[in-house]
Structure formats: C-alpha cells, structure tokens
Amino acid sequence: MAVNIPLIPVTLASLVLESCFYGIFFLLSASSFWLLLQRDVPRKSLVHSTVLSPYFVGTVALSVFITGHWVMSIYRIFQAFIYFDNGIFPLGFLGNLGHFSETLKNSFLWRISQPAIPSS
C-alpha cells in the first residue's frame, strides 16, 4: 500500500534530522581526533603511529564522505528554495532525482556503504 507523503515537508524534516545527526557525528569525530592525537607517544613517531594508522585514515575518510553528503543536502535545499525559479517551484527541483547535485549527494552515501575489499 503506497502512502502519499508530500515531498517538501519530508525533505525539510530529513534535513533537520540529518543536521542533528551530523552535529553529533562531528562532535564525536572531533573528540576522537583530539584524543587520538593527544596519546602519550613520542613526537618522533607520532606521524607513523597515529596519522598513518588505519583507524585515523578511516576516520578521516568517513568524515570527508559524511561532510560531503551533508553539504550537498544543504546545497540542494538552497537551490530548491532560493535559486530554482526564484523559489516559486521547489518541488520541480527536489523531484528531479537526475540532477547533478542529487547524484553527487548519493554518491557520497554510496561510497560509504561499499566494502573496502571486494569479496570473491
């Protein structure tokens, strides 16, 4: 059974939730970076032991992809409500799932969900 839910309220609600979750992620990620860099490691081996560790590299990659997805979500809302037809018809922009910004936003999310090593 299909439910008719309007696209604009759902998009705005998802942006609010996504921004809240991004804020939580950002705080946890920043504190993780700080704690990782404040470890009791001699400064000579800090680069080798911390910055090149798989945990640090994975956290940086995850942060880049999640930040990119969130930025593209904000960009799409601005495009829909301010720039596309002077904000008169945001549904025309939000309903176009083939637009470059939607494709780029979903590619950030798709890359996170892919396994790092393909299974045989």
Closest CA to 94 of 70, 71, 78, 111: 78
Q: Residue 4 in 3-state DSSP? A: coil
Any residues with CB less than 8 A from the CB of 99 and at least 6 apart, and which?
93
Contact 65, 111 (CB under 8 A): yes
Rounded to an integer, what distance in angstroms lies between the CA atom of residue 112 and that of residue 105?
Answer: 12
pLDDT at 72 over 90: no
- Choose from 15-19, 42-46, 71-75, 89-93 the range with maximum mean pLDDT: 15-19
The answer to whether the predicted template modeling score (pTM) of the entire model surpasses 0.75 is no
> Which pLDDT value is given to residue 17?
95
Rounded to an integer, what distance in angstroms lies between the CA atom of residue 11 and that of residue 107?
Answer: 18
